[in-house]
Amino acid sequence: MAVAELIVDARGVHAWYGSSHALYGVDLQLERGQTLGLLGRNGMGKSTLIRTLLGHVTQRDGYIGLFGQDMSHARPHEVARLGVAYVPEGRGVFPNLTVRENLVMAARPGRDGRNEWSFERVLDTFPRLRERIGHLGAQLSGGEQQMLSIGRALMTHPELIILDEATEGLAPLIVADIWRVIGEIRASGIATLIVDRDYRKVLGRADRAVVLQKGEVVLAGAAQEIAGSDALAGYLGL
């Protein structure tokens, strides 16, 4: 695989929170347009790895390449400018802004001038948001806030979108809607990194998967191969 094809090329990544060593030499690669599932039990380092790639965890070591650039020491806003969008666990919508304002404040064309995810397309994708366009973020349900968080990320026209527990704590109908949208995002050619507890859904939609245990990669490969691994159940605590 040529390095130029990789939009994420992380090698030997370590991370710390104070004196606590959280990641141990993690390797992770993601190709343009590919979907990667990041799996593991709670506390195994999934969110830490995401936050390290994004520049939020400052105590880090190793190589982090994004879109062919060395971003090992980059800050979060520098990563975002490259075309990386982040939908965090907990959603992070602005509670005192309306749905319209939350979306419009994030709008910008892609790095190459792409503008496929217009305001109207986002509202067509999330009809619930259109119905609540004048509501404040704080007035939305948890599911609606998650839709708004994903819609806001799409308004930045990312080349990579990272979804951290996008379906956590949501009603089944909302969860089905979120997975529908994830399918649309994948079909549109945006690379996607997904963390979700529903490992079957993740593996069914991903091209590749990585499993973490105690901050280390213990399984990595094609999603179908990971799904069929005898070791998977043990690593996920099933």
Q: How confident is the model at residue 215 (pLDDT cuts 50, 70, 90)?
A: very high
Asked if pLDDT for residue 116 goes beyond 90, the answer is: no
pLDDT at residue 98 is higher than 50: yes
* Residue from 103, 54, 59, 107 nearest 82 by CA: 54
Determine how many CB atoms are found less than 10 A away from the CB of residue 138: 11
**Does 11 fall in a domain?**
no
Mean pLDDT in residue range 137-159: 94
Range of the domain at 160: 35-60+74-236
Rounded CA separation 238/223 (Å): 18
Span 222-231, pLDDT tens digits: 999 999 999 9
Does some domain include residue 7?
A: no
2 within domain boundaries: no
Full-prediction pTM beyond 0.85?
Answer: yes
* Domain membership flag for residue 211: yes
**Total structural domains in the chain?**
1
Residue 67 is assigned to a structural domain of this protein = no
pLDDT recorded at residue 112: 72
Q: Per mean pLDDT, which range of 45-49, 115-119, 172-176, 183-187 is the poorest?
A: 115-119
Strands 6-17 and 60-66, how do they pair?
antiparallel
User: Residues, the chain, total?
Assistant: 238
CATH number at residue 166: 3.40.50.300
Higher pLDDT residue, 227 or 3?
227
- Burial label for 110, CB within 10 Å (0-12, 13-18, 19+), is middle
Does 6 reside within a domain?
no
* pLDDT value of position 90: 80
Amino acid 1: pLDDT: 43
